């Protein structure tokens, strides 16, 4: 009998036992930690999912939308159409893409990650963000997060944007630049500030490190944050990246705040 003839049955046996063991482990995990909706906690069929009721509140941002700001249009205006805001006030970044309107389950997931230490949500949210990136994650050279100031990071213990960016980079097989961009100015929280106040608050707040300059120069970057509101923070971060020589910056967020369609 050939060596190949003796190896195949053994391999099939080992593979079968391994598969059975994994199946038993999955059953045991589900018994101890049953899959629940990431939004409301109801029982669902699999981990990292949402129930039908929560899914119904998800307002996905899909085409047609502004090619630059990603703002959804109420009807299709044609290929490559820009919103009035993108024309009148071109952003520092090349494009913005987001998964959903900051409402319903999208808002619950963002708050769970940011304020309730639900870092486990980042994996599911990252998958959705890759799909919403319109191919820009696939074509980029590196992923990096909007950083927190060291004092804010010490108080919060983790950076929600970094959790999302790390998961996106891992899933997409892209370099993750954790420390290329740093926040050198200790700003106040943006919540409650008007648009002009937000811009003043984050002006000059970001710097690309010496090591980071080599990593971003001439590169296509995806800059990750959890929510896009007025764009002041990601615009300030983008300007720092462009100053360091980044060739192209896509801003990718899980949610964006807006009142309705254009």
Q: What whole-number distance in Å separates Cα of residue 24 and Cα of residue 30? A: 10
What phi and psi, each to the nearest 5 degrees, are found at residue 142?
-165, 155
**Which range is least confidently modeled, 51-55, 130-134, 149-153, 239-243?**
149-153
Helices (H), the chain: 3-32, 52-55, 84-88, 104-115, 121-132, 136-139, 150-156, 160-172, 195-202, 210-216, 232-243
pTM of the model: 0.82
pLDDT of residue 34: 78
pLDDT at residue number 210: 95
d(CA 169, CA 166): 5
Average pLDDT, the chain: 84
pLDDT tens-place string over residues 153-206? 666 678 999 999 999 999 999 999 999 999 886 665 666 566 666 666 666 679
Q: Which residue has the tokens 């003796």?
A: 6
Between 35-49, 104-118, 181-195, 231-245, the lowest mean confidence (pLDDT) is in 181-195
Write down the number of H helices and E strands in the chain: 11, 6
- Stated as kind and residue range, the H or E segment containing 206 is strand 206-208
pLDDT tens-digit readout, 97-132:
999 999 999 999 999 998 888 899 999 999 999 999
Cis before 95? omega within 30: no
């Amino acid at each position: 009998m050939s060596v190949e003839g003796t190896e195949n049955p053994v391999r099939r046996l080992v593979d079968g036992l391994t598969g059975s063991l994994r199946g038993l482990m999955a059953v045991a995990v589900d018994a101890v930690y049953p899959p629940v909706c990431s939004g409301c906690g109801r029982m669902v069929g699999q981990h990292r999912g949402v129930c039908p009721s929560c899914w119904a509140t998800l307002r996905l941002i899909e085409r047609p939308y502004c090619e630059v700001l990603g703002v959804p249009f109420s009807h299709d205006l044609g290929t490559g159409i820009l919103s009035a805001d993108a024309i009148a006030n071109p952003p520092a970044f090349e494009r913005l893409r987001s998964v959903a309107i900051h409402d319903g389950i999208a808002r619950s997931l963002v708050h769970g990650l940011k304020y309730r230490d639900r870092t486990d949500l980042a994996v599911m949210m990252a998958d959705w963000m890759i799909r919403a990136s319109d191919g820009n994650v696939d074509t980029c050279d590196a992923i990096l997060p909007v950083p927190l100031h060291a004092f804010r990071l010490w108080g919060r213990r983790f950076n929600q944007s970094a959790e999302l960016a790390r998961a996106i980079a891992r899933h997409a097989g892209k370099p993750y630049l954790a420390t290329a961009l740093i926040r050198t100015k200790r700003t106040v929280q943006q919540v409650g500030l008007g648009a002009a106040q937000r811009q003043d608050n984050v002006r000059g707040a970001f710097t690309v490190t010496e090591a980071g300059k080599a990593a971003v120069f001439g590169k296509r970057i995806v800059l990750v944050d959890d929510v896009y509101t007025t764009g002041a923070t990601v615009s300030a971060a983008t300007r720092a990246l462009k100053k360091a020589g980044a060739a192209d910056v896509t801003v990718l967020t899980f949610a964006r705040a807006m009142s309705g369609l254009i």
